[in-house]
Amino acid sequence: MADIAPAGAAIARAAALLQTGRLVAFPTETVYGLGGDATNDHAVTAIFAAKARPRFNPLIVHVRDLAEAETLAVFNSPARHAAARFWPGPLTLVLPRQPSARVSLLASAGLDTVAIRVPAHQVAQALLREAGRPVAAPSANRSGRVSPTEAAHVAEDLGDDVAMILDGGPTPVGLESTVLDLSGEAPALLRPGAVTLEVLTKLLGPIALTSSGLPKSPGMLASHYAPRLPVRVAATDLRPGEALLAFGPNAPPGFAEVLWLSRSGDLAEAAANLFAMLRRLDRPPFTGIAVMPIPEHGLGLAINDRLRRAAVPRQIPPFK
């Protein structure tokens, strides 16, 4: 089982592990990442193996600042604007890869683009600085499952496959970063997140939504972020056996258990609670998880995106 270490004192040890090709889970402001040296093919291969992630689904490369990002990707003017405004922060940019980029081709799954992010979390920043290299890090969950927002979630999913888990407490945003593709003719939102569509549109003008057809971002595969139990979205009525995730002051009565995403109807609070609460309700004797309607604006777009994917019927082994 992996060593769960309080982040403060363990950064140097974690950085040394990364430098020797080992995997380290670490907190970011969005979710916990499963980090490996992005310049090392073996480390990148180990990330795909630990997550059981399809090799065609590329990873986000984390760097400490814009200067390091510019050694990996070609920045056009919208990319500069977005980086100046939102980095460090929960925004990932998909950009053309620099031919000289020091990043394993496996990390970007052979594409001529690369996804880059500068995380704001203090622990992530300290780790990137100490490691002195770009760190590839998908969310630290098994492929297709709910992303981890606490160190204990990482231990549950990947405990045997990671050398160390840096514990920085619960992650403040709670949903994965916004993924914005600026490599094509027009900006395209590949994954909604805490940097909202409204705010990006104000900065960059119209942004295409990639909702149909072949996913450009393989993380857009329909079923994703899935607990084992069936999830029912926009629920307003009671179904026997279900547990409820409530939003707003009034929950329909009679559910076996109710957890409040946010009693006051605050979207940021709901986002921060979502994944941990899905995990808590994902157990017998419940037969499903119902979720009350969430408004479709701002962060609500990202919450509903994750919920819709969690609600897609799928084949996951039942509880043992």
The site for ligand TXA (CB under 6 A) is made up of 28, 30-31, 33, 57-60, 92, 94, 108, 111, 113-115, 117, 137-139, 176-177, 179, 190-191, 216-219
Measured from each CB, the residue nearest to ligand TXA is 219
196 makes contact, choosing from ligand TXA, Mg ion, none, with CB < 5 to 8 Å by partner type, with none
Q: How far is the CB of 219 from ligand TXA (least distance, A)?
A: 2
**Distances 206 to 60, 187, 239 between C-alpha atoms, Å:** 24, 8, 41
**CA angle 39–74–22, rounded 5-degree value:** 15
Q: Which residues contact 16 (CB under 8 A, 6 or more apart)?
A: none
Q: How far is the CB of 95 from ligand TXA (least distance, A)?
A: 8
- Answer for the pair 29, 42: CB distance below 8 angstroms, yes or no: no
Cα distance between residue 318 and residue 31, in whole Å: 25
Nearer to Mg ion, 194 or 290 (CB): 194
Q: How far is the CB of 51 from Mg ion (least distance, A)?
A: 8
Decide: helix, strand or coil at residue 55. Answer: coil
Q: How far is the CB of 221 from ligand TXA (least distance, A)?
A: 8
Nearer to ligand TXA, 30 or 288 (CB): 30
Q: Which of 108, 113, 125, 139 binds Mg ion (CB under 5 A)?
A: 139
Nearer to ligand TXA, 188 or 229 (CB): 188
- Length of the chain in residues, anyone? 320
ω before 88 within 30° of 0 (cis)?
yes
Q: How far is the CB of 288 from ligand TXA (least distance, A)?
A: 25
104 makes contact, choosing from Mg ion, ligand TXA, none, with CB < 5 to 8 Å by partner type, with none
Nearer to ligand TXA, 13 or 216 (CB): 216
195 makes contact, choosing from Mg ion, ligand TXA, none, with CB < 5 to 8 Å by partner type, with none
Return the range that interacts with Mg ion (CB under 5 A); candidates 85-93, 135-143, 201-209, 284-292.
135-143
Measured from each CB, the residue nearest to Mg ion is 139
28 makes contact, choosing from ligand TXA, Mg ion, none, with CB < 5 to 8 Å by partner type, with ligand TXA
Return the range that interacts with Mg ion (CB under 5 A); candidates 80-88, 106-114, 138-146, 302-310.
138-146
**Distances 3 to 14, 87, 100, 132, 178 between C-alpha atoms, Å:** 11, 30, 36, 22, 30
Chain-centre distance for alpha carbon 167? 17
Nearer to ligand TXA, 216 or 308 (CB): 216
Nearer to Mg ion, 146 or 277 (CB): 146
306 makes contact, choosing from Mg ion, ligand TXA, none, with CB < 5 to 8 Å by partner type, with none
The residue assigned the tokens 């980086």 is 83
Cα distance between residue 133 and residue 148, in whole Å: 24
CA nearest neighbour of 68 among 46, 82, 53, 87: 87
Concatenated DSSP letters for 128-169?
HHHHTS-EE--BSS-TTSPPPSSHHHHHHHHGGG-SEEEE--
The residue assigned the tokens 């020091």 is 102
Cα distance between residue 26 and residue 167, in whole Å: 7
Nearer to ligand TXA, 130 or 256 (CB): 130
170 makes contact, choosing from ligand TXA, Mg ion, none, with CB < 5 to 8 Å by partner type, with none
Residues that bind Mg ion (CB under 5 A): 139
